[in-house]
Amino acid sequence: MRKSHSYRGPSKPAGGGRRTMGIYRTIYERSLEQPEAFWAEAAAALHWDKPWERVLDAEKAPFHRWFAGGRLNTCYNAVDRHVAAGRGGQPAVIHDSPVTNSRRVVTFAELLELVSRFAGALVRLGVAKGDRVIIYMPMVPEAVVAMLACARIGAIHSVVFGGFASHELATRIDDAKPVVIVSASCGIEGAKVLPYKPLLDRAIEQASHKPKHCIVLQRPPCEATLIRGRDVDWAEAMAAAHPVDCVPVEATDPLYILYTSGTTGQPKGVVRDNGGHATALLWSMRNIYGMKPGEVFWAASDVGWVVGHSYICYGPLLNGNTTVVYEGKPVGTPDPGAFWRVIAEHKVSVLFTAPTAFRAIKKEDPEGAFIRKHDLSSLRTLFLAGERCDPDTLLWAEAQLGVPVIDHWWQTETGWAIAANPIGIEKLPIRPGSPTVPMVGYDVQILDEAGKVLPAGRMGAICIRLPLPPGCLPTLWQADARYQQAYLSRYPGWYLTGDAGYKDSDGYLYIMSRIDDVINVAGHRLSTGAIEEVLASHKDVAECAVIGVADQLKGELPLGLVVLKAGVARDPAEIRQELIAKVRSEIGPVAAFKLVAIVSRLPKTRSGKILRGTMKKIADNSEYKVPATIDDPMILNEIADALKELGYGGAGANAA
């Protein structure tokens, strides 16, 4: 295997190359050369109340707008038009909740009744077009109903992950200034019931902005006490409401705000428009995921994250698919076979989840015994995204499931895939470690520090030439200057993804790490992702993370944190030495890799992203803030102890 100081690229499989990309390449190049014609054709698959005047409005560049002058309603396209086409009896939403041992199927006709009635409830409480509504709910069908109801009346929803800390919810209340907050009495995480109402009440107390009303869905495990005059019971609100029709909105009007963490501590409100968003998601369902109307699509995520917005709620419903809303975990609800039961029971055609879910399953069931207990004949493809997928996890999943496993790459900001394998167009050769090739509308290039486009094989900043395609953020909520500074200022004319990587000679993209995770070891730039790839390929490793730590001699050193597979009982010292030798062999002595800690688990967000930045701050003895999205804050204590044993961190590393 070839060695490199900056990355470790996989060997090229036989039969690869541009000659295998005929149909995709033709479509992709047309999307860049004739973007207005391309996206006009894609948008024609939707119902428009008024045709657009301009496909692309570049008058206020770099603030581009798609389908200017056009009017439509996203809810109508996701629900009403399918009922009008005679498909009201098809299941639209399947709610599967192992934590409450319940299943529920909602047809398109039933969904239309629920959404139009809840939209009427919002109108009755004073919500109008352009008003904001915060949705703070668990994984229940009512969360999807609330999102669609906002879209129906032209209100702007902002979904906040259920169970977020009160302070974080308060910052979002003050930024979005909602007229109404929609919540539930509780969420259920594993065997734990988490009351939401006390968190919501404290958030409203802390916030300067006070919503007029809160609508609360009462759940049997934990009923909430309502505040007279402000709080409204969901069931009572529905009973008193009258169904309302869809309100056409401008294609450029905001559909939703989704907050993502900001470096200043102030969350960034990513804005998604109506026209471009619906166009891009419908295109992606058919051409990336290869879905036909009527099939069952399951994004095993949460409505609080961008995947939940795009591929639990809007994408599948726009395409007339049945979507699965799953209230459970990949393991522990009740076992590592949870996903396989859902697929078998509901005849799922395509599963979309995070690599971390599969690493958790592989850790508990390395031989795949639970997989073979279920009939997975309906499953056609597995898509992975959310963070970088190491080749070992991809190959394990492919071997166990016997279906194509597609790694694809996108961001909260883009709302849909930047790079993928377009199964609906043609299946390109899979190269483990790569999310394959850029999708239509994304002119992805690798830039050096001076903004020069780098040739194949050279690692640099991954950037997208403006304008971004439909579906991507047009700006941040009431923060145009911040949007420009965060994403567009470093390389004028380009969108900065914040990721580092390279393209090979066939145009395959490799995402190696965040730009901040490229470490400098004695003048050599190393990708932490490349080292993680080596560690993850060890037979005893379930998952891992590599961070750069300060070193007086070399500037930085890579430090690996490793979680072992279930049942591994070998001497940890022996495993550490094998890992050090493996990195030395496959990356080279230049990596100076000698620091390995074996831990029980890694700190992650609830969406599965590993908190590398937080671990680095602990190691560097810097003050850090416990992220509001962390799934278990207590794990940071184990990480701090493990780092201290290696000589990093200490008494000065504490949470702010």
Amino acid at 96: D
pLDDT in tens, 147-161: 999 999 999 999 998
C-alpha R_g of the chain:
24
Its sign, for the CA torsion 96, 101, 105, 106, is negative
CATH superfamily of 1-33+442-515: Luciferase; Domain 3 (2.30.38.10)
522-645: what fold? GMP Synthetase; Chain A, domain 3 (3.30.300)
- Indicate the burial class of 569 (C-beta count within 10 angstroms; 0-12, 13-18, 19 or more): exposed
**Residue 167 to residue 86: CA distance in whole angstroms:** 46
Closest CA to 149 of 170, 129, 177, 164: 129
Average the pLDDT over 454-462 and give the result: 94
Indicate whether 168 pLDDT > 70: yes
146: tokens are: 């609330």
- Indicate the burial class of 266 (C-beta count within 10 angstroms; 0-12, 13-18, 19 or more): middle
Indicate whether 369 pLDDT > 50: yes
**Residue 99 to residue 112: CA distance in whole angstroms:** 27
Closest CA to 297 of 318, 316, 325: 316
**Residue 348 to residue 530: CA distance in whole angstroms:** 33
Indicate whether 264 pLDDT > 90: no
**95 compared with 389, residue with greater pLDDT:** 95
241-to-122, 132, 236, 237 alpha-carbon distances in Å: 9, 19, 9, 6
Percent of the chain with pLDDT over 70: 94
pTM (predicted TM-score): 0.85
Weakest mean pLDDT among 11-25, 353-367, 411-425 = 11-25
pLDDT in tens, 5-26: 233 333 333 334 444 578 999 9
193: tokens are: 């019931």
Terminal C-alpha separation, the chain: 45
**Residue 204 to residue 206: CA distance in whole angstroms:** 5
Question: With contact defined as beta carbons under 8 Å apart, do 310 and 343 qualify?
Answer: no
CATH 3.30.300.30 positions along the chain are: 522-645
Task: Label residue 518 by pLDDT band (50, 70, 90).
Answer: confident
Instruction: Say which DSSP state 608 is in.
Output: S
Domain 71-328 class, CATH top level: alpha beta
H or E element: which one contains 270?
strand 268-273
Closest CA to 384 of 162, 606, 608, 612: 608
CATH 3.40.50.12780 positions along the chain are: 71-328
CATH 2.30.38.10 positions along the chain are: 1-33+442-515
Would you state the pLDDT for residue 523? 61
Average the pLDDT over 118-143 and give the result: 98
Task: Label residue 633 by pLDDT band (50, 70, 90).
Answer: confident
